[in-house]
Structure 1
Amino acid sequence: MTADPTALRTPSSPPAPPRRRADARPAAGTRWRGATAAAAFAAVLVGGWQAMAVSLDSLLVPGVPEIAAHVGELAVTPGFYTDLGATLQRVALGFALAFAIGAAVGIAMGRSRLARRFFEPAVLIGLTVPGLVWALLCVIWFGVDLINPVSAIALSAAPALSLSVYQGTRAMDPQLQEMAYVYRFPFRYRLRYVWLPSLAPALFAGARLGLSLAWKVVVLVEIFGMSSGVGYQINNEFAAQDVAGVLAWTVMFALVMAVLEYGVLQGLENRAARWRKAVAV
């Protein structure tokens, strides 16, 4: 008697449950926890400053209500937005120039040993020279022209951006590059589907570092050699010995930086990293 072949089969395992698609709830929960942590840090910082102001009882350490009053005055003053717009324009132009130079130099260093040896001394010197030196030199060289802050920002931020992009280029998967070469991908496809996704973490890390340097340098340039901008107004408050005014301008400047970080950079980074999250789910 012939055995039923179906009887010899081992019972097949139940089909695996379908993978759950990443929905908006975990992302929303993560964002909520992140916002709560940031708010907790801000509360600790404000509470610690107020406690220090009360304990010292000094005109040099104004309390939170006095600083908040100055912040409220700035928020309804049209001149604040004029000076802020001037500073943002300088930062945007200088950072764009630094990003273009840093990306080109970093990729060249990562792809070519000769380029790495050629640019490496310049990157090391750029990382060593303080931003204050670049600010002073550009004030001496260019005066009050727009090229002054743009050049100072580019000279300060480009080396750090170059190093970040270089490290990201060196960390790229060589098999992806070999695949693109074997299949003869056009340059635009290699740039869009191989290079940019692989370099995105390094580019965003470099952008954060470059922006932080740009903010610091532009304030120095505006203090020493400009007649407008946030740094210029901070210098005026310092000359008037108004500590609360200095801190109010600093707080408003920090708020703008936070908006750019959380509202722009993180949004772009999450959008660029969607394919990584989709693969991980």
Structure 2
Amino acid sequence: MNVLIVDDEDLARLRLRALLQALPEFDVNVVGEAGDAAQALAQLNTHMVDAVLLDIRMPGLTPHEGLHLAARLRAMPQPPAVIFVSAHAEHALKAFELEAVDYLTKPVRTERLRNALQRVQQRLQPLSTMQAVLQEAPALVVSDRGRVLRLPLPEVLVLKAGQKYVTLRTPGHEYVLDDSLSELEQRLAALGGNHLRIHRNALVARHAIRELALREGGEPGEESGDEAGGWAVRVAPLDEWLSVSRRQLAAVRAALAGRA
């Protein structure tokens, strides 16, 4: 894994290099260091870089030069993964909008850096290797906060989109995923999964749907949140109720009747 360290502080770069050397399992090669955006771009023109450890506040045209550099990296034909390293936590939301792999706050802890590198490693995994894993058995391969997991399709009961992440529920666990709900729906279909979209923000395994009911205070076809009234399905074995949208109501009824 080729890594470029970008930070205007010599001691900060030295510490990051030491932390990387303390994680031999990733076989990290620090191809260079840079103290500002111009130096970083020069290094990127010279070396093939898999990941950039990038500070946010550096010398440049703006106080947050690292964010602007990340935006430029994102536009590259083969952009490196970006791991932000900052003494300030308030830029985390903007960092993830730029599709950063992780956001580490100084002083960086070894375990947090390990998790970030695991995410980079997952991105670098050859497509052929991932396809081979998928072909071994009908299972969904997901990344949950740095861990790569294979979940047998019958255990994938509910996928629900929130503001930033998708939560996946199995009979005994809940996982937080970075993938979009639409992407997960396509992957499940390609694997032969039998999951039904019951709402714009939720997928449910057909075999887990036990009951469709109009909850108190709701009207037929009302698109509502979980807390409000409206049509909902009970999911077993979780024994939880999830809202059903008007446009999906017929499909849910057909699934319960065994016609879909």
When normalised by structure 1's length, the TM-score is 0.20
Tell which has more relative contact order, 1 or 2 (C-alpha 8 A, sep 6+). 1
Structure holding more helix per residue: 1
Higher radius of gyration, 1 or 2: 1
Structure holding more strand per residue: 2
